[in-house]
Structure 1
């Protein structure tokens, strides 16, 4: 909840803190179940302040998703920067960021991007475009990391798509109450995929 104070007869508040609070509301409830009432309760702002600062619900969602991306994408970029001895190490590093985020008690389970993709039809066209563009950027980031770790172009593309799907699966399983140990097992299985693919190739 953002802090409020009185100055020269006007309410002052930390816009960045309010945006983070709104992000957590969308993250916890998803776009469809996030009402203006939940946003005002979560941010501590009145309707007037909310609308005048951020616009309507759709505009606030887009800013919240951008804030989410700005918070977590640098962590994924750092994890993938390597150098990694092979794609398996890059996968493990990438999914470790996800597991650490899920284990963080300060944020909701799951993933705001995953929830938003699952509710894509509820979003307006700009919101839909932002969700897809954010996912596409992650896919490109993964492909680049796998190529740098020694995968050829086709393998890098296949692994990027598979790991992206695995990452989203971790978010869904965490929302369903699966334990951290279960999620770590899923991540470890994903990291074994490159070795299994190599073993399956004809020699």
Structure 2
């Protein structure tokens, strides 16, 4: 065995993730990252490849930790899209109100700093948001609503999720956040119910709309 000090790479990455989560990319200095991880600057570069690479690894660590929970919640109610969205937001609220982790959402916080991120890191943030969109859209797919309506609802749900993170960092109470979630779930349910009522009428009207002068 060599005399080099051994360290837990995953634990160091978790600490770096918290620094980016609390401070944002811009204010996560190398000194702060080194202090949190217990690594010198040279070890940070040698292990993770520099601040930008460490930032992207931290994003992936965050996404794998919470993304799995989101995916499980969204898939927990097959055939019940509204219940799936409710389950999704319960996971979101559990994270936001957990006093053991920083406020808000690392991805949401990073998205607000996109203009100052390097292109590769900015694209990484967008890709993680796209993954969330795909998960939410899949949960809404068990509906009679027009695909365009489902796409719009997906954007709405993802936007509300990101706004919850911003509100929580601004000091919004759990009651206020739950009020937003309640209204969001009601909007999703009402939109899907209206779409379900309108779809038979639209389908039934189609043959009549296709006939016209000169048709036999």
- The answer, yes or no, to whether TM exceeds 0.5 is yes
Instruction: Determine if the alignment matches structure 1 residue 134 to structure 2 residue 134.
Output: no
How far residue 52 of structure 1 moved from its aligned partner, in angstroms, is: 0.8
Q: Distance in 2 between matches of 1:150 and 1:182?
A: 32
How far residue 55 of structure 1 moved from its aligned partner, in angstroms, is: 1.2
Moved over 2 A (4+): 82-88, 148-152, 194-203
Q: Distance in 2 between matches of 1:128 and 1:166?
A: 21
Q: Distance in 2 between matches of 1:18 and 1:152?
A: 46
| 2:75 match | 81
Q: Distance in 1 between matches of 2:66 and 2:41?
A: 29
How far residue 110 of structure 1 moved from its aligned partner, in angstroms, is: 0.2
Instruction: Determine if the alignment matches structure 1 residue 39 to structure 2 residue 33.
Output: yes
| 1:119 match | 113
RMSD between aligned residues = 1.8
How far residue 83 of structure 1 moved from its aligned partner, in angstroms, is: 2.5
Question: Which stretch of structure 1 is more off in the superposition, 39-48 or 160-169?
Answer: 39-48
| 1:163 match | 157
Question: Which stretch of structure 1 is more off in the superposition, 46-55 or 151-160?
Answer: 151-160
Scaled by the length of structure 1, the TM-score of the pair is 0.90
Q: Is the 8 A contact 1:139 1:160 kept in 2?
A: yes
Q: Distance in 2 between matches of 1:80 and 1:150?
A: 18
| 2:140 match | 146
For residues 38-77 of structure 1, what are the structure 2 equivalents within 5 Å?
38-77=32-71
How far residue 87 of structure 1 moved from its aligned partner, in angstroms, is: 2.9
What's the secondary structure of 1:110's corresponding residue?
Answer: coil
Q: Distance in 2 between matches of 1:57 and 1:150?
A: 46
Unaligned 5+ runs, structure 2: 202-216
Q: 2:93 aligns with which of 76, 99, 102?
A: 99
Unaligned 5+ runs, structure 1: 1-6
Q: Is the 8 A contact 2:85 2:139 kept in 1?
A: no
For residues 4-43 of structure 1, what are the structure 2 equivalents within 5 Å?
8-43=2-37
Q: Distance in 2 between matches of 1:103 and 1:178?
A: 10
Q: Which has the larger radius of gyration?
A: 2
Q: Distance in 2 between matches of 1:34 and 1:20?
A: 14
What's the secondary structure of 1:11's corresponding residue?
Answer: coil
Residues 149 and 83 from structure 1, CA distance in 2 versus in 1: closer, same or farther, beyond 3 angstroms?
Answer: farther
Q: Distance in 1 between matches of 2:190 and 2:142?
A: 19
The count of residues paired between Structure 1 and Structure 2 equals 197
| 1:4 match | none
Scaled by the length of structure 2, the TM-score of the pair is 0.85
Q: Distance in 2 between matches of 1:194 and 1:47?
A: 48
